[in-house]
Each structure stands twice: as C-alpha cells, then as structure tokens.
Structure 1
Amino acid sequence: MLSPKSNRILFVASVYTHLAAFHIPFMRLLQDKGCEVHAAASSSEGRKEEVEAIGVKCWEIPFARSPFNIRNWEACRRLKAILQSHHFDLIHVHTPVAAFLGRYLAKVTGQGPVLYTAHGFHFYKGAPLRNWLIYYNAERLAARWTDGLIVMNGEDFENARRMGFEPDKNLFYVHGVGVDLSRYARPSFPGGYIRAKLGLSSSDVVVTCIAEMNPNKNHILLLRAWKKLAERYADCHLLLVGTGELMAYLQEKVEKEHIPRVYFLGYRRDVPRILLESDIVTLTSKREGLPKSIMEAMAAGRPVVATDVRGSRDLVEDGCTGLLVELGDVPGLVAALEKLITNPELRAAMGVAGRKKIQDYSLEKVLSQMAAIYERYLEEIAG
C-alpha cells in the first residue's frame, strides 16, 4: 500500500503526446492511491488536453527532442522554477532530453526519489558512434541522479548493468507500457468497419503499419518493398496509421512513384478495430524500446513482420509469432511479407502464438509491476 498521506507525483517527458499515448494508466493508478499527479512537458505536438482531462495538473515546458536545441535552456529554466516552488515526493521521467534535465534539476532542488523509464536507450548495438558519445555518456553522468531505472528490453537491461545499476535494487525490467487485452476481443467490433470505408473486400489482404512518421520508423524501407509487392499482388493493401514530420514527404513519394494501394489514415483512436481487420502487421524501425504497435498486433492475434532490432526482437519470435528481417534488406522484407500474404494458415498460426505470448505484457500485469516499484520508493519516504 502507498503511504496514506497525499503524495505529490510529477511525470516529466519531452512532449505530452508521449504521456498521453503511454502513461495515462499509470497516472490513474497513482491517483487511485490518493496521489496528486502533475505533468511537465511540451504541448507542441498536442494531446495535452487528454492528460488534463483525467485531473492531472499540467505544466507547459518547451522541451525539444534534440539535445542541441536552444529551447532546452528555456525548458530548464521553467522546470527549475516549478521544482523550486513545489516539492514532489516522487518524480518519474521519460524521453532522453527531458529525463536528463529532469533528473539533474530534481537533485539540485532537493526533490524526492527519481525514477527513469528508458523507452529504448539511444545507444544500442549498431548505433552510430555519435549516439554512444552523446547519449551513453549522458546516461552515465545522470546515473548518479537516478534512484531507480526501469527498462523494457534485454539489451537495455544489460547496458544498465554495465553502468552500475543493480537488478531489483535500483534496476527494474518491466514488460513495456502494457497493452489492454480486453480492447482486442473481436466480438466488441462489427466486421468490415475499416474495409467498408476503404472499399476493400473481405478477401483482400490488408497489411498495416502503425508508427509515427519520422526517420527512425523507416517507412522508406517499407514503401520500397511494397512497390515490388504491389506489382505482384493486386488484392493487397497497405494501411499507414500515424502522423509525423515525414508524412507529407511520404505521401508525395507514393504519388510520384505511383505506388498503388497505400492508404494514409493519420492519427486514429480506433487502432483495435483496424488491427482486427488487418491480416499482417509490420514495423520497419531502425531502433525500438519495446514497440506498443507490435504488442497491439499480437493482442489482436496478428502475425508481425519486423526489422531485427532491439525491442522488436524481444517480442517477435522469428518463425513463431512473426518474421524478422535485417535492417535495410528490401528483398528480405518482400520475401517475408510475401510468405504471409500467400499463406493464410501460417498467418493464423502465428497470430495464435502471438496472442499467447502477449499475455505476459498485459496492462494489468504491467500496472502491478509498476505499482510495486512506486510503493517501494514512496514507502522509503514514509519510513
């Protein structure tokens, strides 16, 4: 049980889109325990109102994702002012830049314990040397300000141990941000929802990618492969769910190169419906922490084709719950998608295996894991 006194908790991230997409269940968990929850992030990408709607006190901090952006000086000044005028019993930080500044400022202003969830370190096997020089050294420095580190994939766990964190003492391995399995129960949705809107038949094969349109998500690799697949299979359709800085560029590429049957669906609140009407889900990222879109695909019982990168490989068992391809391998991606496009029995078998594996990643189980971590640090204060 959390302390009976009303603990004040602060969530910090670069943007409110991150907090809205992944952390509202954890904010509610703390509220249900009687905590007063605050959040500090930039609303530049929207969704701040979703966090405010659950009763969280939101502070506007103009963080920039790039560590070199001058806006971070103003973000640092504003966050420091908040921390000087408020005491937080626990601070939970996310995203590299906001997490680094948040941890430093928490310590210099005498706040309570600081937890950091690494949603995928920016240094990883195969990462550019620049990433290791900047982000690895930044994390080693920030380790002294980090009371607890939460990771969600095997590679990050090992890197955290090398930085001196100790499992079950100040290092915790959780199953991502969790997925609400109840939202993927087929009887909840009528059939033909998205297919009818797009004019697709029940026999058409639908491949779906859910990802922010930025360089890391690597839609270019997917479109290169799709251009070849679309020439071979006239009944296949590609749904791209999400928005981002590269959306206009990708739309222009599809139009200029006459890549057929690609649908840009934008930001959606009906992802479970879309997944339940998809046949295959794909993600071609250059790096991941533990991708929620793959967890959602598995919850919907859909096979996944993904690049063999950290995070994705933690979820996708090659040949069992889906297929993994090497980063940059267009022919390999074509072959993997083709294998599933032409084999509905294999799709069904992999979907069943994925649904079974994802049980351990349910939101219910992750909430239980996080509740135990929160309680540990808040009880230290009470004691």
Structure 2
Amino acid sequence: MFTPAGGFGQRLVAEGLCWQPVPMDRRSLNPLRELIFFWQFVRLLRREKPDLIHSFTIKCAIYGSLAARLAGVPARVNAVAGMGYVFTSDSPKASLLRPLVRMLLKLALGGRNARLILQNPDDVVLFRQARLVDPDHVRLIPGSGVDCERFSPAPEPVTDGRSRVVLPARLLWDKGLAEYVEAARLLRARGVPVDLLLAGDPDPGNPAAVPESVVRGWVSEGLLQWLGHVDDMPALFRSVHIVALPSYREGLPKGLIEAGASGCALVTTDVPGCREVVTHEVDGLLVPVKDGVALADAIERLVRDPVLRNTLGAAARKKAIAEFDERIVVARTLDVYAELLGST
C-alpha cells in the first residue's frame, strides 16, 4: 500500500499490510516537483510489479493510473468518492485547473483493463455526460462499507433534557460548516435545548479548509463544542441524539452511514451522495443545500419530537445493514478485481 507519510501508516503495518510512504503533496502545483514524484512512482511500480493497482481520490487516480500504464501494471481500478474541489468549486483556481484535470482523467481512466468505481448514481451520470470514461467500464458500489456490528445502537443518552447534535467531518466549508454555525445561532436565539458538537480535524491541504482560528472563534462564542479528531467514533455516535451533515456534495458520506448504523437520527442536504443515504421522512430528514434556516428547523423538529427521532434512527440502522454493510461492499469490489484479473 502506498500513501503519503502520516500517522496512519503504522496502523496499516499493524494490520499486516505492506505499507510504503510516497512523497505526494496534494497541495503542490509545482510542475517540476510533480514530474519528479510521478517518475519516482513509475519506478516504484516497476520494482514492485503489482498485478492490479487500486487508486482512491481524483489526484491519486490520475497519478496512479498513468504511472501504472507506463509501468505495465496489468489492471487498474480507480475509486473516486465525489468530484473533488476542482469540479465543485467556482473559484478562479479551480476553473483554471478543470480543463487540465479533465484531460488527465480521460487518459487515466481509459483502457480495456481499467474500471472506475463510483459511489452514487449522480456521479455515474456526470462522468458519462462528460465522456471521461467508457460507460461499460463504470461500476456503482455504494460507499466503502461500514462495520454494522462495531457501529451499533445504544439507549439514547440522558443529558438533562438537552439533545446533542454532532457534525462529523473534515473542517471544510463545503461540508456545510457555515450553515451549521448559522443553525447554531438560530437555535440559541429560539431557546432550543440543544448542544451542537463538531468532530473533525483541520485540513490545511484542502483549498476549502476552514482556518482553525475561525473554528476557535465559534467555540469562544459558545456556538458549538469542537472535539477535534475522535478515535472512537462508535462511542461518539452513541453519546448523541442527532447527526447532521449539511454538505454541498458527497460521493457517499461514510460518517453519515456510520451514524445511521448507530441508530442516530440523520439530517443532511438533498445533494448527490447524501440523498443516497437518507430518504426524506423515512430514515432521516433532507434540507436544501446552503440553507442554515432549514437546517435549524430540521434539528429543532427532531429535538422536540423524540418519537420521530427514534423512528428515523431505527430506519437508518435497517438501511445501513441492508445496503451499506462492509461485507456487501468488499464482495462487490473483489468482483471487480476478479473481472479484471480474469481478462489479463
């Protein structure tokens, strides 16, 4: 397994995987640096001689697939969870990069022995309409899987009459943090007995990152509690009543599925990825994107109606087991491997 250096490397080794750090910097736009890294990666693949390479995220899909083609790797699988900053942002930088990334993606995803795994139907349509990939080479697999035994329900926490809500995500504007804070202000003004929590690390490598100073300012205002990185997510979900993810777009949000498997009531936006996890009024509530008022209304409704909250949480758990359990996802991913390796 090849990833940038980081704290998770030793965890991979502890699980019995062969892990090697690679000097990829996702923030880098230096052409010379990128070319040097790319050639190093080609040489690494030639040395290791894998039968199949499975790349995740857009940048890794481009680098991994192109390097694999040059290194003669027989089979390539790319899993793209969402369209990423370049395709979702309206910033001048994203607009400038978009044609180049589109061209490189088309090169990376092409070829008889390549498959693209997407996590929601909207992305399937988008990739096909953009003619980035042969439609016959696309496989729809819902997410990366959740351990529905590890993430399991517990009795609702007793919190002195106050409900607890958590937003579990990297600290990015496009996860809906501005709308979450707006909702916090509205709920406080309305006197709703609720505490809002935020679980996640800063992500300075992402252009959409929320500065840590801004988050600390929200905490100082008393709008929310910031938990930072949380190792024990099952315990966190068992300690809250509601999980909110007002994201602008997702592949298939794993944190939301984990929360559903834990029996939490879910509030999310009616956008690609999120609406595959939540059906409105069936196993959660959907709100319009970038609408802090609607988010506050949905949270207040669940705070004031514990019967609805518990009903939606139970339905979310049932859906997670039926559609998103990791055993389903692993089996379907192995089917893609077998399809490719059997054709080489």
Q: Say whether the fold is shared (TM-score over 0.5).
A: yes
Larger displacement relative to structure 2 (125-134 or 304-313): 125-134
| Structure 1 residue aligned with 2:340 | 377
Per-residue deviation, residues 203-244 of structure 1 (Å, max 9, x unmatched):
320001110112332312211211121232363111211111
Residue identity matched to 1:144 = G
**Partners of 1:150 and 1:174 within 8 A in 2:** yes
Q: Deviations over 1:141-171 (max 9, x none)?
A: 322256111111011112233327456x522
Equivalent residue of 2:12, what SS?
Answer: helix
- Per the alignment, do residues 283 and 135 of structure 1 end up closer, same or farther by CA in structure 2, a change over 3 Å counting? farther
Is 1:213 matched up with 2:171?
yes
The normalised TM-score by structure 1 is 0.79
> How far did residue 138 of structure 1 move?
3.0
Superposed CA RMSD = 2.5
SS class of match (1:184):
coil
Residue of structure 2 equivalent to 1:159: 126
Aligned partners of 1:207 and 1:280 also within 8 Å: yes
| CA 1:365–1:202: 2 relative to 1, 3 Å | farther
Going from structure 1 to structure 2, the CA distance change for 1:254 and 1:42 (only over 3 Å counts) comes to same
State the aligned residue count. 330
CA 1:274/1:233 → structure 2, altered by over 3 Å: closer, same or farther?
farther
SS at match of 1:78: helix
Q: Are 1:322 and 1:350, in contact at CA under 8 Å, matched by a contact in 2?
A: yes
What secondary structure does 1:116 align onto?
A: strand
1:54 aligns with 2:21: no
Task: Give the structure, 1 or 2, with the largest relative contact order (CA under 8 Å, sep 6 or more).
Answer: 2
2:207 aligns to what?
none
Structure 1 partner of 2:213: 249
Q: Which runs of 5+ in 1 are unaligned?
A: 1-38, 193-199
- 1:217 counterpart letter in structure 2: K
CA distance in 1, matches of 2:86, 2:305: 34
Say whether the 8 Å CA contact 1:299–1:354 is kept in structure 2.
yes
Contact 2:151 2:259 (C-alpha < 8 Å) held by counterparts = no
- For 1:74 and 1:132, the matched residues in 2 are separated by 22
TM-superposed CA distance for 1:125, in Å, is: 9.0
Preserved contact between residue 152 and residue 263 of structure 2 (Cα < 8 Å): no
Letter in 2 for 1:157: V
Q: How does 1:159-308 map to 2 (within 5 A)?
A: 159-162=126-129, 163=131, 165=133, 169-186=136-153, 201-233=159-191, 235-245=193-203, 246=210, 248-256=212-220, 258-260=221-223, 262-308=224-270
1:107 aligns with 2:69: yes
So what's the TM-score if we normalise by structure 2?
0.87
CA distance in 2, matches of 1:355, 1:124: 34
Secondary structure of the residue aligned to 2:149 is: helix
Tell me the SS of whatever aligns to 1:226.
helix
Q: Specify which of 125, 137, 144 is matched with residue 110 of structure 2.
A: 144
C-alpha spacing 1:255/1:120, structure 2 compared with 1 (3 Å): closer
- Change in 2 beyond 3 A, CA 1:269/1:126: closer
Instruction: Mark the CA change 1:369 to 1:326 in structure 2 (over 3 Å): closer, same or farther.
Output: same
Q: Percent sequence identity over matched residues?
A: 26
Question: Aligned partners of 2:318, 2:134: CA distance in 1, in Å?
Answer: 31
- Residues in 1 aligned to 2:160 and 2:52: alpha-carbon distance in whole angstroms: 50
Deviation at 1:67, TM superposition (A): 6.3
Query: Please, which moves more after superposition, 335-344 or 120-129?
Result: 120-129
Question: Matches of 2:269 and 2:134 in 1, distance apart?
Answer: 30
- Specify the code of the residue in structure 1 equivalent to 2:103: N
**Distance 1:233-1:134 versus aligned 2 partners, 3 A rule:** farther
Shift of 1:247: 5.9
